[in-house]
């Protein structure tokens, strides 16, 4: 178990995971290789149960086009790409050549190379280079927390009506509750959470899974 929910006990999280669709061999191998090669960064990867939820939500939304901010070694990109309908395309953004080289290897293993495109470079630049039109059915934000408010601003107009915007780490490990915490990343996540909750373009729910997953449906 690489990570657990911030909200429920270790035992209940183990039970929850045992009663959810487990990761397949490709995802398990990816998680193992990531833990071996990047032990200090392994917690960057989405939790297995969150991966399962990303696939389900993408599928439920009948999404065909997706965008992800924060690829790392590819776990969530595989989960989202698998949920896309036939002919689906996922654009994923990251700055690390090293980490995303692992992602490329596992996209190949998962038979998803033809539906995932990686853009290397600061994600804000990538997002701003895309036409400001409703092009995506699903968006997932999971990169540098300082830019969360800007990612929200750039992504909402680019998601179609009826599409989903999903954001990881919206609890910031519980630190969002501590009004005295002036860590810039925590302030940025809190700012985005407040802004999203007041954004009348979406209807949303914050789920206590992993480190908090916000799921917003665009009107
Ligand atoms: C939490 S990890 C993403 C984990 C990934 N979703 C997964 O399931 O494995 C955050 C990623 O954001 C990337 N990142 C950090 N700053 C970035 C930026 N300005 N633009 C794009 N990616 C960035 C990091 O290189 C890292 O791979």
Q: Ligand 1: which residue has its CA nearest to atom 11?
A: 70
DSSP state letters, 110-171: TT-GGGEEEEES-HHHHHHHS-SS--EEEEEE-S-GGGHHHHHHHHGGGEEEEEEEEEE-TT
Q: Tens digits of per-residue pLDDT, 26-51?
A: 999 999 999 999 999 999 999 999 99
- According to the CATH classification, is domain 10-218 in 3.40.50.150? yes
Q: Tens digits of per-residue pLDDT, 119-133?
A: 999 999 999 999 999
CA 49/CA 21 separation, integer angstroms: 8
Burial class (CB in 10 A: 0-12, 13-18, 19+), 97: exposed
Strand partners, 68: 92, 140
Neighbours of 187 (CB within 10 A): 17
Q: Which residues line ligand 1 (CB under 6 A)?
A: 44-46, 70-73, 75-76, 93-96, 99, 122-123, 142-144
Nearest ligand 1 atom, CA 122: 20
Neighbours of 10 (CB within 10 A): 10
Which of 125, 68, 111 shows the shortest CA–CA distance to 93?
A: 68
Return the best residue to mutate from 71, 93, 150, 212 for the ligand 1 pocket (most ligand atoms within 8 A of CB).
71
Burial code of 54-76, b = ≥16 C-beta within 10 A, e = fewer?
Answer: bbebbeebebbbbbbbbbbbbbb
Does position 6 have pLDDT exceeding 70, yes or no? no
Return the best residue to mutate from 33, 40, 144, 168 for the ligand 1 pocket (most ligand atoms within 8 A of CB).
144
Does position 4 have pLDDT exceeding 70, yes or no? no
- Given pLDDT bands bounded at 50, 70 and 90, which one contains residue 63? very high
Residue 1 has what pLDDT?
Answer: 41
Q: Tens digits of per-residue pLDDT, 162-177?
A: 999 999 999 999 999 9
Q: Is 133 left (phi over 0), alpha (psi -120 to 50) or beta?
A: beta
Residue 2 has what pLDDT?
Answer: 44
Q: Ligand 1: which residue has its CA nearest to atom 2?
A: 44
CA 72/CA 89 separation, integer angstroms: 18
Does position 8 have pLDDT exceeding 90, yes or no? no
Does position 212 have pLDDT exceeding 90, yes or no? yes
Nearest ligand 1 atom, CA 100: 27
Residue 18 has what pLDDT?
Answer: 93
- Given pLDDT bands bounded at 50, 70 and 90, which one contains residue 10? confident
- Given pLDDT bands bounded at 50, 70 and 90, which one contains residue 5? low
What mean pLDDT is reported for the chain? 95
CA of 38 to the centre of ligand 1 (A): 14
CA 100/CA 177 separation, integer angstroms: 33
CA of 46 to the centre of ligand 1 (A): 11
């Amino acid at each position: 178990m690489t990570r657990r929910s911030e909200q429920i006990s270790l035992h209940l999280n183990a039970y929850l995971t045992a009663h959810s669709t487990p990761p397949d061999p490709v995802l398990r191998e990816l998680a193992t290789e990531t833990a071996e090669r990047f032990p200090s960064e392994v917690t960057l990867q989405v939790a297995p149960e969150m991966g399962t939820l990303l696939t389900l939500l993408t599928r439920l939304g009948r999404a065909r086009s997706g965008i992800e901010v924060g690829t790392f070694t590819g776990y969530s990109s595989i989960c989202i790409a698998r949920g896309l309908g036939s002919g689906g395309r996922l654009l994923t953004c990251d700055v690390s050549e090293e980490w995303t080289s692992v992602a490329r290897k596992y996209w190949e293993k998962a038979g998803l190379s033809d539906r995932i495109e990686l853009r290397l470079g600061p994600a804000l630049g990538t997002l701003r280079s895309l036409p400001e039109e409703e092009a995506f059915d699903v968006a997932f934000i999971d990169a540098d927390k300082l830019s969360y408010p800007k990612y929200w601003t750039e992504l909402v107009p680019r998601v179609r009506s009826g599409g989903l915007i999903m954001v990881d780490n919206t609890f910031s490990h519980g630190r969002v509750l501590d009004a005295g915490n002036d860590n810039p990343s925590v302030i940025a996540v809190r700012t985005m959470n407040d802004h999203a909750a007041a954004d009348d373009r979406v209807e949303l729910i914050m789920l206590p899974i992993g480190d908090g997953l916000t799921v917003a449906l665009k009107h």
